[in-house]
Structure 1
Amino acid sequence: MSTATVAKPTAQQPGKGSRRFSLPVLLLIIAGVLVLTSVVRLISGADGITSTGQMSTALRLAVPIGLAGLGGLWAERAGVVNIGLEGMMILGTWFGAWAGYQWGPWTGVAFGIIGGALGAVLHAIATVTFNVNHIVSGVALNILALGTTRYLSKFTFEDAPQGSSKQSPPIDSLGTFDIPGLSSWLQTLNEKHWFLVSDIAGLVGGLVTNLSPLTVVAVALVPATWWVLWRTAFGLRLRSCGENPVAAESLGVNVYKYKYIAVIVSGGFAGLGGAFLSIVASNVYLDGQTAGRGYIGLAAMIFGNWMPGGLALGAGLFGYTDSLNLRGGTTNVHALILLLAMLLVVGGVYLLWRRKLISGVITLVISAVMFLWYAGTDEVPRQVVTAAPYVVTLLVLSLSAQRLRMPKADGLPYRKGQGK
């Protein structure tokens, strides 16, 4: 009796073909960036680049970007591309302000989540049920949300006290708090401007100073998302829908259900980010308030390689560059040019060491241009400061593109029973 040898299938690890940083290496990179930042601060005299106030502002600006990115992460891990994050954030800002003005800020937060989720339901119906192209559906949702909120504002806020067709009345604040003792001690240490120590104090101090309760909730959602998606059976089923929905269906997973859940949760996160903008960041709804943060959140998610930790780092980076614009950042951005030039030198040397000669030489040439720009000017034009977050978005995406691995079935149409 002959026996056939059956090859044992091997599970392919996500991202096997791409190089991924281990935690020690990632921590070493972060430490190196902190050292270079401290050196730049001493050379340029721009103490504001690592001040407690700068870091606190950066955190506040990073929260809506991070929440939008988390929304994109949930949807795309289930195989649905969510370009409509911007529209869901817009709905979150309006619904949050409308309910917050009438019934209080926490009610506004709840309605902001509901508003974003309503937009997500439309996106899910179009993409999951009717297999509409995900990009087309997302862009259409962005346009629809913008027009709907402008229309609703005309007969809800226009006749209200201190309101107009483009602005809501002021909304009560959720309040802020500091960590007793620790905040003041770190502030004092940061003001001494010591090498590295004061910079670390400013970074940590920004995380424990002038906090909104909603900021704490938003930060906690990052590890919560990681635990749900990577440590629970529910998360495994949801991610299987984004990797191989046909195989998931063969194992009894209701792919439609999980895609709907993922997209609705995605809209809830984006709506929460919108509510944060109108209730916490400015305590008023403004037309055009999101200013493309939904797209930047999507970029942060891609930068983070569809992982919550990398997403948080990306949101922090974009929030920091945006904070330079709010805090009179012409001098700070000038110092940032020097930091970028130093980082490019490190990157160029690394590429040469990896024997990527053309890329390494080009990187070193760009770094030389940055050094000359820094040496030849005392400060940068205000327009450069305003454009900094968007320029950083493009640079980060272009530099990290080689290490990305999206879910295999992300954006692909799916029909129940198509594998039979």
Structure 2
Amino acid sequence: MDSYRNSDPRPPIMQGSPPAMVLPKLDWDRPPWNRWAFQHVREFLPTAEVWRGNGHRHRLERAEVDLDGLPVEDSGGQPTTLAGLLDETYTDGFLVLKDGKVAYERYFNGMGERSLHLSQSMAKSVTGSVFGILVGRGLIDPARPVTDYLPELSVTGWAGASVQHVLDMTSGVRFSEAYTDRYSDIGQVDVATGWKPVPPGSDPAFRWPSHMFELILGLKETIRPHGAAFEYRSIETDVLAFIMERVTGKRLPQLVSEELWQKLGTDESACFTVDSAGYAVADGGFNATLRDYGRFGQLILDNGGGVVPADWIEATRNGRHGPDFNPSLPEGSYRNQFWIEDPRSRALMCRGVFGQMIHIDWNSRTVVVKLSTYPDFSNVAYSVATVKAVRAIAAALD
């Protein structure tokens, strides 16, 4: 089915009693269903709370600027406005913080200030930041082998890899991130996490993993020496999360709550989706509000704010940049579960499929959050246009 933009009529997905259009379990993250599903994950998947605690709410001061008419380029490079680009790129929520104050905030597609939105792979940066806290506390040494913390992985492709290799996604483990292939490794992650059922009509001889650690133990092969090259593979983040759980004796949602979410002064508790073994999906199962994603971005911009070690943030901003690093970030890099935009600005980015982004820029003192539901897993033209718009916003607010 085709998707719909915010300027189009909304189909009655999960509306009415009984609903006129019921969410399909196999394709809830595909269009048009994802436009409803990404804001309602707790209604169809098991989740674990990331408690905000009983502490203060960090009030975001406001210094609002009407940027709706700001001239930017659309995905085809033609003139449009920021409002037009947000409509074109299936935006659910958009937030700009300038010097920690709300400069611009917009909601679409039924989203509101209390709505929890699926982060997809922005969850990797949340997980990586808490990992940095544990490193700063001396509980984990990134230079040590992964198997020092998870000896079970000695029979997998991670044998001989360091923790830093996993943080930077430079281990040599064979893992296919082919999203549209239900039999690929990432397709098997969908089943292992409980996000999707076993595809109907699948080969009865194919052994589907029943939970995430079982899938990890089945990844036996390497395709290159550890540390030789970056290759984006979501499973690396889940290995990191199992290390965190092993050294602390706590589950990931509790760790993120105690070490990060309660200290941010968030508006709302967040949540992770969990698999059949109760494991929180570290690589993409985190859900939070637009403003709370902004608070997280601001914490990173404030060099960790005394929560995440400042030297961890500085190290994260220093990656190995190469030509044609990524289709939408040709001068980019990847370090400690964050993307780096380019070697000059060293701006950090959290990115997730279907158009999730937190852009953190020290030069302009801005944090930009975009929550989206693209019709496709990725769209290079949308991503490039969004980053260009972020630069235009920074210039307009300077």
Q: Could you say which TM-score interval applies, normalised by the shorter chain?
A: under 0.3
Q: TM-score, normalised by structure 2?
A: 0.27
Between structures 1 and 2, the one with greater strand share: 2
Of structures 1 and 2, the larger Rg is shown by 1
Flag the structure with more relative contact order, 1 or 2, with Cα contacts below 8 A and sequence separation at least 6.
Answer: 1
Between structures 1 and 2, the one with greater helix share: 1
